[in-house]
Amino acid sequence: TQLLHFRYQSQNQKDNDVKVQVRACALSWIDTKLLSEIKLEKELLPVGREISGVVLEVGRKVTFFQPDDEVVGILPLDSEESGLCEVIVVHEHYLVRKPEKVCWVEAAGTVRDGVRAYTALHYLSQVSPGKTVLVMDGASPFGTIAIQLAQHRGAKVISTAYSLEDKQYLERLRPPVARVIDVSNGKIDVAESCLEETGGLGVDIVLDAGVKLYSAEDESTSKSQFLPHKHDIITLLGVGGHWITTEKNLQLDPPDSRSLFLKGATVSFLNDEIWNLSNIQQGKYLYILSMDILNTDS
């Protein structure tokens, strides 16, 4: 059993560290299984990793920040600090400047889903003008940001809704979503709707919110009943399409692989912790967060 806690830990500030006064902290779930798999499992885990705040002090080798800078960032997986503390010490690579027009709460609350959406659409699928993107569960925080980012890049967006409220929310978005597919009643064929919307060509990019791995009899939870089967996603993918999945247990049978091969399509796994697992990802992380798309006016 993992115990979650927060406490202030007085640590010696290193040359590349930044001391930050926390103004807002977001709480997100902790993937303890992933921590175990990468040998970072602990008895006690600090909580609250998405933070925004003001720089108090900087180490002598810090080049990106100076005192009084407003910053936002995500603490790394192996951090001993908790964002719920009033003051934290963090390496400068995990922070970027906060846009002036974004408030503290919005910055901390959207930074994780923003980075996830950008990773999926930019690094994993290279979204560009004229592409068609299917965002599953578009009314979710991640889905909403992904929709706006795809539209910002000039893509046509299709989305699914899991309830009438979600459908109405998606229909109010501006610029408008090309098509909202209400799957709440279980009678709408997502693949058929997407093929109809694209003139039979299929979509270029799919961002799923999980998929059904087995038959309807084997998956009866309230969430899984709204999810498409993996065969449906393969069917609606166009030639050269990209399927970005969050389904960590995805299994592709030989016929599935054959269909993807014939389409020249790809499958990529979106692990929202990947930028904290290797040094090379830190550069991508800095670039992502420095983009103007984080500005609420974008």
Residue 182 near residue 193, CB atoms below 8 Å? no
Report if pTM > 0.95.
no
Provide the pLDDT for residue 97.
92
Provide the pLDDT for residue 226.
77
Q: State the DSSP H helix or E strand holding residue 110, giving kind and residue range, or none if neither.
A: helix 104-118
Residue 111 near residue 72, CB atoms below 8 Å? yes
Q: How far apart are CA 161 and CA 2, in angstroms?
A: 34
- What residue spans define the domains of the chain? 3-102, 112-269
Q: Which of 42-56, 92-106, 258-272 has the lowest mean pLDDT?
A: 42-56
pLDDT at 36 over 80: no
Provide the pLDDT for residue 215.
58
Hey, is 194 helix, strand or coil? helix
- Indicate the burial class of 268 (C-beta count within 10 angstroms; 0-12, 13-18, 19 or more): middle
> What class is the 112-269 domain?
alpha beta
Residue 50 near residue 17, CB atoms below 8 Å? no
Residue 97 near residue 52, CB atoms below 8 Å? no
Provide the pLDDT for residue 280.
46
Residue 248 near residue 210, CB atoms below 8 Å? no
- Indicate the burial class of 281 (C-beta count within 10 angstroms; 0-12, 13-18, 19 or more): middle
> What class is the 3-102 domain?
alpha beta
Query: Chain centroid to CA 171: how far?
Result: 22
Q: Which of 138-142, 227-231, 286-290 has the lowest mean pLDDT?
A: 286-290
Q: Higher model confidence: residue 149 or residue 11? A: 149
68 phi, psi to nearest 5 deg: 80, -5
pLDDT at 168 over 80: yes
Query: Chain centroid to CA 14: how far?
Result: 30
Terminal alpha carbon distance of the chain? 43
Task: Give the CA distances from residue 279 to residues 76, 77, 128, 285, in Å, rounded to whole numbers and listed in that order.
Answer: 11, 13, 27, 10
Provide the pLDDT for residue 188.
83
Secondary structure (DSSP) of 30-76: --HHHHHHTT---SEEE---EEEEEEEEE-TT--S--TT-EEEEE--
Digit-coded pLDDT (tens) for 181-204: 999 887 788 999 999 999 999 999
Task: Calculate mean pLDDT across residues 9-30.
Answer: 82
Asked if residue 175 has a cis previous peptide bond (ω within 30° of 0), the answer is yes
pLDDT at 218 over 70: no
pLDDT at 5 over 50: no
Provide the pLDDT for residue 93.
86
- Asked if the domains 3-102 and 112-269 are classified in one and the same CATH topology, the answer is no
